Amino acid sequence: MGRLRHQLRTTLDLALLVVTHDLSVPRRLGGDLLVLDGRRTAEPGRVDTVLGGPTSPAT
C-alpha cells in the first residue's frame, strides 16, 4: 500500500482520504490525521503527534 500510495501521490499528484475507526490504520499510513467527534474536529495534526500525545478524549 505504501509504494502504491507514493506512486499515486508523486506521478498523479493525488491525495488519499481514509475513513476508519481503527487508529492503527493511520499509524501505518502516516501523514496527517483529523480526529472527528460527531461532526466536529476534535484533533488535527501529524499522525505521530496526535497519536503520540492525544489531547482530546475522542482520540
Render pLDDT for 8-52 as a digit per residue (tens, 0 to 9): 888 988 888 889 999 899 998 888 999 999 999 999 999 999 999
Residue 25, H or E segment? helix 24-29
- For residue 47, the tally of other CB atoms under 10 A from its CB is 17
Question: Is it the case that residue 7 has pLDDT exceeding 90?
Answer: no
In angstroms, the CA 37 to CA 18 distance is 16
| CA dihedral sign of residues 10, 11, 13, 16 | negative
pLDDT at site 39: 92
E-strand stretches of the chain: 32-37, 40-46
Predicted structure pTM score: 0.73
